[in-house]
Structures are given as C-alpha cells and as structure tokens.
Structure 1
C-alpha cells in the first residue's frame, strides 16, 4: 500500500539521488490529445530545490511535448523507479513552470549544479515542478535492471550538429522541430 507524504524529506532526497533516471508525464487539456511520458537522465540533471520543489535541466530533443503541455495547463508528474535494491516507485505530482535561457531565473537556477551537457547550446529550458502531491507505491512490478552507464549519443549529436551547422544549430533545430507539440500546441517560439 502506498503512502502520501507532506513534503520531500531527507530520506526521499537521498533515495532520488541514488536512482539512475526519472520519467516525466504530461498531457494536454483536450481529451483527444496525446499523453506524453519522457525518460530523463542522468539523475544529476534533476535537483530537489526544497521540500516542495524539484527542477531539471531540459536539453534540446526531438519534441517539446512537456513544454507545450506545461504552458497549456501546468500539470506534470515526475516518477522515479527503483531498478536496483528494494522495490519502490515515487511520484511527484505538481504544477510545472518553464524557465528558458535568457529568463531572469535561468542563470540563478543553473547555479544549483545540474549535470550539464558538454555543449551549453544543448540547454533548452529548466523545468521547475511545484510539487503538490508526494506519493510512493510498492514497485513490485518494476524489474531489476543493472545500470551500465550513460550513453554518449546526445553530446555527440549536439557536437556534430554544431560542427556542421554552426553556432546557431541548436536554436535552428528548435525552430524547426520544437515550435509546437504533436497536437499543435505552442511550445517554443
């Protein structure tokens, strides 16, 4: 049986930091829109800011569903699963906020020590989650998996894009691929 907690306590902070990755779930307000779940990592790209706030450094990717959904309705859940050790799932439900490079808060948040991509141009946003519900559950159905390390593909892809297309390559990619969600909701301008 799962439990609901009043805040993100020290035990949960340590447990979160020991996971390899996390998942983010969002959905548009429309009933016919696409629900989105994104795997995120490494875990160092996420920081617990206080007892009711987490944030993660979002890098340029193939879509911008999370950003579009947050801008439309704010709903978000961050989920952690124990793939090693005792079974457990922890969900942080809340309201999201998109902080873009150039926003006043961005550089201040960046000081929190997020794991960074090799090229700073890969930074897309910092997603801040104002947590309203903290709940765990058993995780009995989550398999035991061995962590082997991080994949180099994201940094290699960014480096190649910058080398081939120049210093504006990531912003050009965003303009082409991250302007709207798959449902047509505005994401990045």
Structure 2
C-alpha cells in the first residue's frame, strides 16, 4: 500500500493513511493537524532498517485478527529473540506451533487476511511497533523451500513449527513509550508472587461451570465430595 493511500478514505478526497472512521473523528474532535503530523513522520508502508533491527530482537508479539463478520481475536506469541522473521522490508513471518487445536487466528486469516502485529519492548527501549498487513498461511515445507526457514532454523528448542504465517506489510508505525511499564526478565520457575492455584490447571474456573451447584459449593469450601 502506498504511504498516502487511505484504507478507508475520506469523502473530501484527502489521501491519508488510516480508516475513514479515524479521519471523521479527527475532524470532529479537531485533531487533524496532530494526526497529519503523525502520518507524515511516523507511518510508512515498509520496515525501516531500525524497525527490522527492533523486530529481530523481540521475544513476544500480540497478534490481532478478525473473521469475515468482523469478530475480533487477539492472541499472544512468544519465542527466542527473532522468532518473528524479517524476510525483507515488506515481509515478515512467524511460526505456529502445536497448541490447543482451536486455530482461532488461522481460521480468521482463512476468512479475512487482514492482520495486525504489536511488538512491545518492555525491557530496554520501552517502545512499541505496529505492523499491519495481509497474512497468508504457509506450510512448514513451503516455508523451508521458499524462505529458507528450515527445521534447523526453528525458533523454539525441541519444537517444530507446524506452519508459518507470512505477512505482507502495508503499514508500520511507532507505539510511543508513554505508559509502557518497565519490566524485569526472570527465569521461568523462579520466585514469583503468591498464587491461589496453579496456572496450568483450570485457572479461571471455566471447567466448573458445568458442575452442579452443590458440587461447586463443596469444592469452593474445600470439602470432599460424597
């Protein structure tokens, strides 16, 4: 997408990035000048060298997708630094490993290829990067054959990607550091704050919703059944 081609456009014919909805609200709330400066200085249709270096250091990303009806899903992906691969200045790819079998994000991509990525560096730069684009599901075989993402190039020890998601970049822009918390890295299994129950079990109690009320009451009171 050209840097000044709008995704939604305006009735007055102005050529700006972003949606028609945001343009309308900018006029309504008198933020057009600020928004125009942001579009001009911060929004690009490809990854700059600084963006590419930033992505290559990241260990996590938030992924946003929506189905054909606009129902949204936001998920989280993580791996060693650089698990999201920069293939060139307009193309990214990230691996999909074995999960719970729901395949919500991939299912949305099947219906609607529009995808958003949000990288946030909580540890050093305290800055974020938005990348919006069009996604394609790629088999592990094709990822290796076409993009050099071979088995020995997998991103998580002991795990192999079942497939990859390739993103053609349409726009990229900064998420400023305001309100991004500074976090500290800690090894898994290290000292943590108190937990009421192990996170690996039914942490949010969904499985208990199907129990009869008397069983739930006994469980919550810590009494054995029977």
TM-score by length of 2: 0.58
* 1:81 alignment counterpart: 120
* 1:98 alignment counterpart: 137
**1:9-158 mapped onto 2 (5 Å cutoff):** 9-31=48-70, 33=71, 35-42=72-79, 43-62=81-100, 63-102=102-141, 105-108=142-145, 109=147, 110-111=149-150, 113-120=153-160, 123-149=161-187
Cα 1:17–1:142 change in 2 (3 A) is: same
Question: In structure 2, what is the Cα distance between the partners aligned to 1:119 and 1:21?
Answer: 17
Question: Which has the larger share of strand?
Answer: 1
Question: In structure 2, what is the Cα distance between the partners aligned to 1:141 and 1:29?
Answer: 33
Superposed CA deviations along residues 107-160 of structure 1, whole A, max 9, x for unmatched, are: 22323934144143xx22100001101111213122111122468xxxxxxxxx
Structure 1 unaligned regions, length at least 5: 152-189
Question: In structure 1, what is the Cα distance between the partners aligned to 2:140 and 2:87?
Answer: 19
Question: In structure 1, what is the Cα distance between the partners aligned to 2:157 and 2:181?
Answer: 29
Cα 1:147–1:129 change in 2 (3 A) is: same
SS at 1:5 equivalent: coil
TM-score by length of 1: 0.68
Contact persistence 1:44–1:114 (CA under 8 A): no
Which one has more relative contact order, counting CA pairs under 8 Å at least 6 apart?
1
Question: In structure 2, what is the Cα distance between the partners aligned to 1:149 and 1:53?
Answer: 32
Cα 1:93–1:24 change in 2 (3 A) is: same
Aligned length: 145
C-alpha RMSD over aligned residues: 2.2
Structure 2 unaligned regions, length at least 5: 1-33, 190-226
